[in-house]
Amino acid sequence: MIAEVGQDIKRVQKCEPCPTGAGMWMATFSDMAILLMAMFVLLIALAETAKVRDTMYSVAGDAESAYGTQDEVESDLVPSVQRGSSVNSDTNEGYETIIKALAKEIDEGTVDVIIKDERIVVNVSSGDTQNSNSTKVQQEQLEIYMKVAEAQREISVGVKISQGSEGTTSDSEAWEAMFSAQYLRVRQRLDSAIEKNLVEVIRDGDKIIVRLASEGSFKSGSADLQDGFGLLLNDVGNALSDAEGLITIEGHTDNIPISSFGSRFRSNWDLSAGRSGAVADYLLTKYSFKTGLMVSGLADTKPIMSNNTNAGRAKNRRIEIIIDGSY
């Protein structure tokens, strides 16, 4: 009996061996601590990077304040080209074209050409108007505008003209100078026809109107061009082929109703549209225009003289080619 109790005591006192190493909770805690340390190291590194960046910006700003920066390169040999974004090939080609056109004025120091924001800028000196003939100065400036207008038809980039040493001319003033130059150029090219009273060239605000006389243009009730009218249209095409602006060909009639019997036109509306279309067809077969051509038939809605007389009606029967500079 005593022996059995002793064996029971031995069995109660004997236990399983304890596990070695850290518990699972300790491993999880260590992993979390390592992650937190890594996060703090990353934050410190980012903060130091921001400090370095701010320091670099501060140094750059101090250097610019101390020494300044150079935005333009000037030369006595060539006109200045303003530095900035990269200049494309079209702008460079246009720049060279303007330089060649204004070579004389550049040599005289009255013009400076630069490239700014992918645009060619022509700075025109205002001249010493107090000690020189103002009319002569205006004529010289007008010749510059005409040269720029002539050169601009060969290039595909915009050209801005500024007047005065500080370039104070507004865009509207520069546009007015360019459009006036275009008006004078058209008049000069059609000078012979103007003297023969075959053409009128009129400036009406932002429009240039080339008015063609009805005599010798079309037969009554017809939209077929007469032989001599084609020669006049050749002169007009040469004068307007490089025009800047929207070109519209308008047909006008008097107020006498057209006889529909034996005619392919039912009214003056059809007749005026047919005549403007015939002029456009003729011009487009020989010339190209920057903005193309538009045609319009207005019948007798826009008379320029009274329709109560033969002379007035003859004036109202006309073709007008309009260059609209507002486009």
CA–CA dist 44, 36 (Å, integer)? 12
Where do we find the tokens 């200045």? 80
- In this prediction, residue 260 carries a pLDDT of 63
Q: Do 214 and 317 touch, CB atoms closer than 8 A?
A: yes
- In this prediction, residue 298 carries a pLDDT of 95
- In this prediction, residue 115 carries a pLDDT of 85
Instruction: With 0.75 as the threshold, say if the pTM is over it.
Output: no
pLDDT band at 294 (very low <50, low <70, confident <90, very high): very high
- In this prediction, residue 80 carries a pLDDT of 45
In a 10 Å sphere around its CB, with 0-12 CB exposed, 13-18 middle and 19+ buried, how is residue 15 labelled? Answer: exposed
- Of residues 91, 246, 241, the one with CA closest to residue 159: 91
Q: Do 161 and 174 touch, CB atoms closer than 8 A?
A: yes
User: Which structure tokens are listed for 28?
Assistant: 């999880």
Phi-psi region of 109 (alpha: psi -120 to 50; beta: other; left: phi over 0): left
- In this prediction, residue 84 carries a pLDDT of 40
Choose the CATH number for 191-324 among 3.30.1330.60, 3.40.50.300, 3.40.630.10, 1.10.150.120.
3.30.1330.60
Q: Do 236 and 190 touch, CB atoms closer than 8 A?
A: yes
Give the helix, strand, coil percentages of the chain, each rounded to 5. 50, 15, 35
Report the Cα 227 to chain-centroid distance in Å: 40
The 8 Å CB, 24+ separation contacts for 126-135 are 126/163, 126/164, 126/165
In a 10 Å sphere around its CB, with 0-12 CB exposed, 13-18 middle and 19+ buried, how is residue 170 labelled? Answer: exposed
- Of residues 218, 198, 231, the one with CA closest to residue 268: 218
Q: Do 80 and 74 touch, CB atoms closer than 8 A?
A: yes
Could you read off the pLDDT of 39-66 as tens digits, one per residue?
Answer: 777 777 776 655 555 555 454 444 444 4
CA–CA dist 178, 22 (Å, integer)? 91
Task: Report the share of the chain in percent with pLDDT over 70.
Answer: 69
Q: Do 234 and 198 touch, CB atoms closer than 8 A?
A: no
Phi-psi region of 246 (alpha: psi -120 to 50; beta: other; left: phi over 0): beta
- State the span(s) of the chain assigned CATH 3.30.1330.60: 191-324
Residue 62 has phi, psi (to 5 degrees) of: -65, -40
Per-residue pLDDT at 11 exceeds 80: no
| Strand positions, DSSP E, the chain | 72-73, 81-82, 111-116, 119-124, 159-163, 199-204, 207-212, 246-252, 293-297, 318-324
Relative to beta strand 119-124, strand 111-116 is antiparallel
Handedness of CA 303, 199, 215, 232 (dihedral sign): negative
- Of residues 286, 301, 292, the one with CA closest to residue 243: 292
Per-residue pLDDT at 79 exceeds 70: no
116 strand-pairing partners: 119
- In this prediction, residue 248 carries a pLDDT of 95
Question: What mean pLDDT do residues 266-291 have?
Answer: 92
- In this prediction, residue 50 carries a pLDDT of 54
- In this prediction, residue 272 carries a pLDDT of 94
- Of residues 126, 222, 139, 225, the one with CA closest to residue 181: 139
Q: Do 220 and 258 touch, CB atoms closer than 8 A?
A: no
- In this prediction, residue 135 carries a pLDDT of 62
- In this prediction, residue 93 carries a pLDDT of 86
Report the Cα 192 to chain-centroid distance in Å: 34
